Amino acid sequence: MATQTQDASHGAADAAHAAADSAPGMPQLAFETFPNQIFWLLVTLVVIYLVLSRVALPRIGAILAERQGTITNDLAAAEDLKAKAVEAEEAYNKALADARAEAQRIAAETRAEIQVGLDEAIAKADAEIAAKAAESEKAIAEIRAGALESIQAVATDTAGELVTALGGKADAKAVAGAVQTRMKG
């Protein structure tokens, strides 16, 4: 097809295409240039291959590996720091719990001490109160006894006086016996 059109254009515009006519319709099919193209292509490919395999690819690979290493290291460091933070938090919590327990222990001890003192004081106070009460009771008994005697005397006197006032003759002995009998009930 290429050569056909080539012929056509030959006929149509000979002069105008004189330069282009030296090449076929498709320069891609100008076989006399093939050795040249292939030679320079192979040179190019060999040069690019050497540049890539000797310099570029190892370098880029090293850069990527180095970056990967850095990232991995940084991640490991971050992990470490995180673990440390968790540890620190645990230690803090432990210290807090310890302190709380200590405080509770101290409070309980103090409470027990106070209780002991309190008990002692209460016992002492009880004993004192008991002693005082006994004393008071004794005094009251004395007073009561004293009062009974006085009442008997007053009653005997009053009865004697009444008997006298009513015109009788007060027999002190009889009056005393009668009062005594009355008071016994």
DSSP percent split of the chain into helix, strand, coil, nearest 5: 90, 0, 10
Applying CB under 8 A, which of residues 28, 110, 136, 164 lies at the interface with another protein? 28
In 3D, which of 170, 148, 166 has the Cα closest to residue 157? 170
CA 122 to chain centre: 42
Q: Does 65 bind another protein (CB under 8 A)?
A: no
Identify residue 27 by its one-letter amino acid code: P
Q: What angle do CA 79, 83, 87 make, to 5 degrees?
A: 170
Shortest distance (Å) from residue 16 CB to another protein: 7
Q: Does 95 bind another protein (CB under 8 A)?
A: no
Shortest distance (Å) from residue 55 CB to another protein: 5
Q: Does 33 bind another protein (CB under 8 A)?
A: yes
| Residues making contact with another protein (CB under 8 A) | 1-2, 5-6, 8-9, 12-13, 16-17, 20, 22-23, 25-30, 32-45, 47-49, 51-53, 55-57, 59-64, 66-67, 70
